[in-house]
Amino acid sequence: MYLLLDIFGYLSVVLRGLILIAQSFTLGGLAFQLLLWGPLQPQLSVFGLSIEERCRAFLRFSAVAWALLTVASLALNAAALVGTLQVPWSEAVTADFGRADLVIAACAAGIAVLTKGPAHRVRSAALLALSVLALAMQTRLTHAASRPDVRWPLLLSDAGHMAGAAAWIGGLPYFLIALNGCKDAGDWRLIARRYSLMSMAAVAAIVSGGLVMAANYIGSVAAVYGTAYGVMTLAKVGLLLMLLMLGASNYFLVERLRRDPTTPIFRLKRFAEVEIGIGITVLLAAASLTSLPPGADLPHDRLDWQEIVERAAPQWPPRLTSPDYDRLTVAQLQAKITLADAGRASAQSAYVPGEGTILPRNAEDIAWSEYNHHWAGVFVVLIGLLALVEHFRWGRWARHWPLLFLAMAAFLFFRADEQAWPLGPAGFFESLRDPEVAQHRIFVLLIAVFGLFEWRVRLRGTKAGPSALVFPLTTALGGALLLTHSHAIANIKDQLLIEMSHTPLALCGVAAGWARWLELRLDGRVRRAAAWIWPVAFILVGLILLDYREA
């Protein structure tokens, strides 16, 4: 139980993100079926049984995942209540959030059952009713339901926001299945045109709902940059702008397809793939946002603009020399405890993972952390520069740049968490009880994995096959996970200043990953542009790390 409480915050954000993804894919599949596939099917040149069956299979999978994830979230929240307030399980499960989760899970299970058969009016009406009920219950788990003032405008805005995200982002996999399944240019034109109209309506719902919620939950310009809620909202807006750029490009392509049926749709499919990836990241950012208190509710202890400018002002040179380990807080505390317990069989540990105790930080601790970030920045800048050099004929030698990832992973494995093995008193597996340490270990593993795979890709060239996609997927995943990353620092301002540096890192990581994806999956001008975009994004990540400071 203690371990569960230790990692509850991080697990709840991840579970919430997965729920939003499964929910969007379920409701998006229903919107695709009711608004696009059903009305258009008589006009298509093929009956499309195989397309419809694939869409139904993905819809059933999404609905089942939505139900199971909702039950898992209910169990996690109930366990946290039982562990902290010592309430009975029956009382925890029947709390407001428990009843809402049970209704949502039942609706999702019902959708999974009803989608097994062919669509008709009664079945479609039942599916629509279950979707509306599930969406209504989902709004009871948002900030809108807990507001003390008038809640209906916020509840409606939240529902419209989620419905818009489902129709656009959640409908993308089905749109892609339909494009890949149809072979006639006329079918492509009809499907693309209808989905484009659906997406525009969905964007209007997303933006209008988002503006209403931002006005109420943020409240002022100062809260945009002065609170964690405002910063995460900016991250979500940045991701939305990426999606809108891709969507605008697809819109113009659809218009060309409408005028000229012979227009190739290869780029439309590839951009849709990237939209799905960035859309999933948006949903993870939304989950992270729901775990934060609204900025309007935090009138005190906000960052002011002067503090942000002072921390962000570049300082040169970066810190490339490390303080000695025995000068760190954890080492000094452990030495004192060991000395005091010299007569005992075993000394106590200064740091026990998962206890939630925050160790004091001295100047050497800050210097240690800055040293780690600055050297990581050196690695990343070199990776980006060598990836650019590789484009030139004389730069073929630079294709071994992925090996730098392995060096960086080894560096971070030893240095990122001074309180854990191999430097600190906590053992390797024991240290994983700390959510921050566990996240760092995951990032190190991701770095090593895509370093190895990308080196293999560079050596094999065009013969690399699907393994070439590991690098962009891992990079994009790392950026998405960074949006759920958190630090436990007593001073909330210090925490927010650090998160402010992590947010642009995440956005650059997402941009780099999906730009590399387009380089691999497209040709022509888009491929050439993407080949330059992702190394530049890596260089920006490195420069941000080189300017990282904690004081």
pLDDT recorded at residue 332: 85
Among 218, 253, 271, identify where a domain stops: 218
Question: What pLDDT shows up at residue 30?
Answer: 95
Are 455 and 402 in contact by the 8 Å Cβ rule? The answer is yes
pLDDT at 36: 92
pTM for this prediction: 0.89
Q: How far apart are CA 49 and CA 383, in angstroms?
A: 48
Higher-confidence position of 170 and 256: 170
Query: Is the pLDDT reported for residue 357 higher than 70?
Result: no
Domain end, chosen from 218, 244, 275, is at 218
pLDDT at residue 346, rounded to an integer? 62
Range of the structural domain that residue 432 is part of = 316-547
Phi, psi of 420, rounded to the nearest 5 degrees: -115, 165
| 238: in domain | no
pLDDT at residue 84, as a whole number: 76
Question: Does residue 365 lie within any of the structural domains?
Answer: yes
In a domain, 89, yes or no: yes
Go through 510-531 and write b for each residue having 16 or more CB atoms within 10 A of its CB, e for each that does not: bbbbbbbbbbbbbeeebeeebb
Instruction: State pLDDT tens for residues 424-482.
Output: 877 787 777 777 788 788 889 888 887 888 898 888 876 777 888 888 998 898 888 88
The pLDDT value given to residue 490:
41
Amino acid in the structure at residue 9: G
Considering 167-181, 347-361, 424-438, 488-502, the range whose residues carry the highest mean pLDDT is 167-181
What the block records as the tokens of 153 is 């405008």
User: What's the number of domains the chain is made of?
Assistant: 2
Residues 99-137: tens digit of each pLDDT: 999 999 999 999 999 998 777 788 889 999 999 999 999
Q: Partners of 426 in the beta sheet?
A: 420
pLDDT score recorded for residue 468? 85
Same domain, 411 and 537: yes
In this predicted structure, the answer to whether residue 352 has a pLDDT above a threshold of 80 is no
Whole-number Cα distances in Å, 286 to 18, 136, 161, 485: 11, 18, 11, 13
Using the predicted structure, report yes or no on whether residue 345 has a pLDDT greater than 70: no
Which of the residue ranges 168-172, 257-261, 501-505 would you say has the lowest mean pLDDT?
257-261
- Peptide linkage before 422 cis (omega within 30 of 0): yes
Q: Which spans in 218-328 are helix H?
A: 221-226, 228-259, 266-290, 305-312
502 C-beta neighbours (distance < 10 Å), count: 18
For residue 370, the model assigns a pLDDT of: 92
Percent of the chain with pLDDT over 70: 93
Q: How confident is the model at residue 157 (pLDDT cuts 50, 70, 90)?
A: very high
Question: Quick one: average pLDDT of 365-377?
Answer: 93
Position 356 confidence tier, pLDDT thresholds 50, 70, 90: low
Whether residue 196 sits in one domain with residue 322: no
Inform me whether the pLDDT recorded for 252 exceeds 80: yes
Average pLDDT over the chain reads 87
- Taking a C-beta distance cutoff of 8 angstroms, is the pair 514, 530 a contact? no
Q: What is the Cα–Cα distance from 417 to 349, expressed in whole angstroms?
A: 15
Return d(Cα 374, Cα 313) in angstroms, integer: 15
Q: Output the CA angle 170-476-268, nearest 5 degrees.
A: 50
> What is the mean pLDDT of the segment spanning 526-533?
93
Look at residue 449 and tell me if it is in a domain. Answer: yes
User: What whole-number distance in Å separates Cα of residue 534 and Cα of residue 514?
Assistant: 8
Residue 48 confidence class, pLDDT cut points 50, 70, 90: low
- pLDDT, tens digit, 9 for 90 and up, residues 358-368: 677 888 999 99
Q: Is residue 289 part of a domain?
A: no
Q: Which residues contact 83 (CB under 8 A, 6 or more apart)?
A: 1, 2, 4, 5
Q: Are residues 521 and 394 in the same domain?
A: yes
Q: Considering only residues 480 and 490, tell me which one the structure prediction assigns the higher pLDDT.
A: 480
Same domain, residue pair 201 and 327: no
**375, 503: one domain:** yes
Q: Do 65 and 192 sit in the same domain of this protein?
A: yes
Under the banding of pLDDT at 50, 70 and 90, the label for residue 304 is: confident
Mean pLDDT, residues 213-228: 89
How confident is the model over 341-363, as a mean pLDDT? Answer: 69
Q: Give the residue from 218, 252, 276 where a domain finishes.
A: 218
Q: What is the mean pLDDT of residues 524-535?
A: 92
* Surface-to-core class of residue 359, CB atoms within 10 Å of its CB (0-12 exposed, 13-18 middle, 19+ buried): middle
Nearest to 511 by CA among 533, 527, 491: 533
- Verify that 321 and 209 share a domain, yes or no: no
| pLDDT score of 487 more than 50 | no
Measured distance CA(514)–CA(502) in Å, rounded: 19
**Runs of H (alpha helix) within 115-227:** 121-139, 152-165, 172-181, 185-217, 221-226
pLDDT value at position 172? 96
User: How confident is residue 46, by pLDDT bands cut at 50, 70 and 90?
Assistant: low
* Helices 172-181 + 185-217 axis angle, to 10: 170
Rounded to an integer, the average pLDDT of 397-413 is: 93
- pLDDT above 90 covers a percentage of the chain that reads 44
> Residue 467: inside a domain, yes or no?
yes
How many Cβ atoms are within 10 Å of 477's Cβ, its own excluded?
Answer: 20
Q: What is the reported pLDDT for 108?
A: 97
Q: Specify the DSSP class assigned to residue 113.
A: H
Which DSSP string corresponds to 164-185?
HHIIIIITHHHHHHHHHH---H
Q: For residue 283, tell me if it sits in a domain.
A: no
Per the CB < 8 A criterion, the answer to whether 160 and 205 are in contact is yes
Q: Which of 134, 131, 206 lies closest to 165 in space, CA to CA?
A: 206
Query: In one letter, which amino acid is 124?
Result: S
Across the range 67-94, mean pLDDT stands at 87
Task: Please report whether residue 445 resides in a domain.
Answer: yes
Q: Within this chain, do residues 393 and 503 fall inside the same structural domain, yes or no?
A: yes
Whether 413 and 532 map to the same domain: the answer is yes
Peptide bond just before 318 cis, omega within 30 deg: no
pLDDT of amino acid 279: 95
Would you state the pLDDT for residue 347?
60
* C-alpha to C-alpha distances, 248 to 105, 199, 405, 519, nearest whole angstrom: 35, 10, 35, 19
Residue with more model confidence, 36 or 183? 36
